[in-house]
Amino acid sequence: AYDVLVVGGGPAGAAAAVYAARKGIRVGVAAERMGGQVNDTMSIENYISVLETDGPKFAAALEAQVRHYEVDVMNLQRAEKLIPAEEPGGLVQVQLAHGGVLKARSVILSTGARWRNVNVPGEQEYKNKGVAYCPHCDGPLFKGKRVSVIGGGNSGVEAAIDLAGVVEHVTLIEFADQLKADAVLVSKLKSLPNVEIHVNAQTTEITGDGSKVTGLKYKDRATGEEHTVPLAGVFVQIGLVPNTEFLKGTVELSRFGEIVVDAKGHTNVAGVFAAGDCTTVPYKQIVIAAGEGAKAALSAFDHLIRQPVA
């Protein structure tokens, strides 16, 4: 059995594995895809001390640092079920999709999240070529350009306000007949001179020239009329879905499906910790996930040294 089993190999999981391994205990990492979301990122310019890097490079560096220690790296392994320990201090079990079971005295869940896609033609093709999901990350790439934000909930409206200060012009597209964001955000948005809002607007296509985004097409749901907006970028802001479906019924989740953690990364299950985008901790960013992963590892270690000797 492992002392610490990390489930997920993104920035949170990698940081947790490194911090745990440096305590000289038995550590394993099981991940569907080592590196996590970072693999899908073009350029990263906001990880402190690294002026600029790209996603694949950053992901490779994460894995290399984990492998520098005596960590059992189990890549391409999807966890399907978590079985809490039967008695205090007992072993927690993690069932893998291929049938195996891993046992550990403590588990750190760091399975991350995924952005909900609009699923229109052009979205996949132009990902990282104008189609973006993170205004904090990619906003500055569109300085002086016209962009659109798809989604008028809190995250879409926040993104539009944020981007309006960075880019030339923002067109916000909302499917429903009104913006669903908090009133204070909506009135802030409406006060901005370089923002245009379309409600009742169904995005039908993200257009491009083969190498980058050139615009977006939407249908006015009231009139049926088709419109084309010329743009350099499209920010899709229709929700971030935590990869926690397999934990339903065992670990406490928020109404958004995020694992509920306290300030030390404890979940409601003894010996089970969580970190990164899969948790209730706000602001889904690499630097934050990494910090939370380190914290969860220290909390797991703290938990282990308090267990009676077996």
Give contact residues for ligand FAD (rule: CB under 6 A). Answer: 7-13, 30-34, 36-38, 40-41, 44, 46, 78-79, 110-113, 115, 133-134, 137, 243, 246, 276-277, 284-287, 289
Q: Which is nearer to ligand FAD, 41 or 198 (CB)?
A: 41
Q: Which is nearer to ligand FAD, 33 or 188 (CB)?
A: 33
For tokens 């509920």, the residue is: 260
Angle between helices 286-304 and 11-21 (to 10 degrees): 40
Distance CA 98, CA 101 (A): 9
Q: Which two tokens mark 109? A: 């869940």
Q: Which is nearer to ligand FAD, 246 or 301 (CB)?
A: 246
In the complex, the smallest distance separating the C-beta of residue 260 from ligand FAD, rounded to whole angstroms, is: 15
**Where are the strands (E) in the chain, listed by range?**
2-7, 27-31, 43-44, 53-54, 71-75, 79-83, 92-96, 101-109, 113-115, 131-132, 146-150, 169-173, 195-198, 201-208, 213-220, 226-230, 233-236, 240-242, 272-274
Q: Which is nearer to ligand FAD, 45 or 177 (CB)?
A: 45
Q: Which is nearer to ligand FAD, 138 or 174 (CB)?
A: 138
Nearest-5° Cα angle at 37, 31 to 39: 90
In the complex, the smallest distance separating the C-beta of residue 87 from ligand FAD, rounded to whole angstroms, is: 26
Amino acid at 126: Y
In the complex, the smallest distance separating the C-beta of residue 270 from ligand FAD, rounded to whole angstroms, is: 21
In the complex, the smallest distance separating the C-beta of residue 149 from ligand FAD, rounded to whole angstroms, is: 15
The closest residue (CB) to ligand FAD is 112
- The CB density around residue 129, as the number of other CB atoms within 10 Å, is 17
In the complex, the smallest distance separating the C-beta of residue 88 from ligand FAD, rounded to whole angstroms, is: 26
Rounded to 5 degrees, φ, ψ at 37 are -60, -25
Contact 30, 270 (CB under 8 A): no
Q: Which is nearer to ligand FAD, 56 or 89 (CB)?
A: 56
Distance CA 172, CA 234 (A): 10
In the complex, the smallest distance separating the C-beta of residue 191 from ligand FAD, rounded to whole angstroms, is: 29
Q: Which is nearer to ligand FAD, 198 or 295 (CB)?
A: 295
In the complex, the smallest distance separating the C-beta of residue 196 from ligand FAD, rounded to whole angstroms, is: 25
Closest C-alpha among 32, 13, 70 to residue 293? 13
